[in-house]
Amino acid sequence: MRSLVVLQSVLLLLMAVSPAPSDGQSFRLGSSDEWQASQQRHAPFHTIRETNDTRPEPSTEMSRDGEYGPAREIKRFTGPTIQLRGSAEQIGLDSRVLASALEVKFLQDFAFLQGNFAFDKTYETWEIGLFDCEAWTVGLTYPIAFHLQCVAGSMDEPRHWRYATLGYGPKDKIAETIRKALDSIIIEYASFIRKAHSKKDGGT
């Protein structure tokens, strides 16, 4: 409950300092200078950066037991999931649409590991990967603030890897922005898994 209050406070502050939108304005991310204090107090794995387009640039944080750790042993992923929180459904976000797009993108970028989410044999729990996301939004009219976080890992350590971003903007851009953010996160995690497997295989 405390984390929810903190998140809502940060998002509301982000909305409060934003300017009124111009025609066709896209979602933007706050600058790192604006949010340095908030990161230190409330969200150690959030990085808010200024961008010139709608592509978010979130940060990653690995668990302290090693950069790659259990990721080296993952051989198969279950289907990725996304949960909507806050005002997300009220402003028109559809979890089924986002989940479908998430699955397609995931299989595209994890083609080196699997072509579908079926299990053709029995795997150990540490060999099964999970990828779960949550999208929070605050507000019903401009500015809509959002927080998107994905966590991933094996069934034994499902939160070994985390990736998150904050942003705000007009209502009609949020679905596109969140889809692009999810694409960015999947690309980042696929790269991480590739590197983890190369380390296991003796690569550098």
Three-state secondary structure string covering the chain:
CHHHHHHHHHHHHHHHCCCCCCCCCCCECCCHHHHHHHHHHCCCCCCCCCCCCCCCCCEEEECCCCCCHHHHHCCEECCCEEEEEECCCCCCCCHHHHHHHHHHHHHHHCCCCCCCCCCCCCCCHHHEEEEEEEEEEECCCCCEEEEEEEEEEECCCCCCEEEEEEEEECHHHHHHHHHHHHHHHHHHHHHHHHHHHHHHCCCC
Model confidence, pTM: 0.72
169: region left, alpha or beta (phi > 0 left; psi from -120 to 50 alpha): left
Q: In angstroms, what CA-CA distances link 2 with 36, 88, 158, 165, 186? A: 20, 20, 22, 19, 28
Cis amide leading into 44 (omega within 30): no
Q: Please report, in tens digits, the pLDDT of each residue of the chain (204 residues total).
A: 444 454 556 555 544 444 444 333 344 444 333 333 233 333 322 333 323 232 334 344 443 346 788 899 999 999 999 999 999 999 999 999 999 999 999 999 999 999 999 998 999 999 999 999 999 999 998 889 999 999 999 999 999 999 999 988 888 889 999 999 999 999 999 999 999 998 766 554
Residues 6+ apart with CB under 8 A from 31: 48, 49, 50
Q: How many other CB atoms are there within 10 angstroms of residue 59's CB atom? A: 18
β-bridge mates for residue 28, sequence order: 168
Residues 6 or more apart whose Cβ sits within 8 Å of residue 204: 198
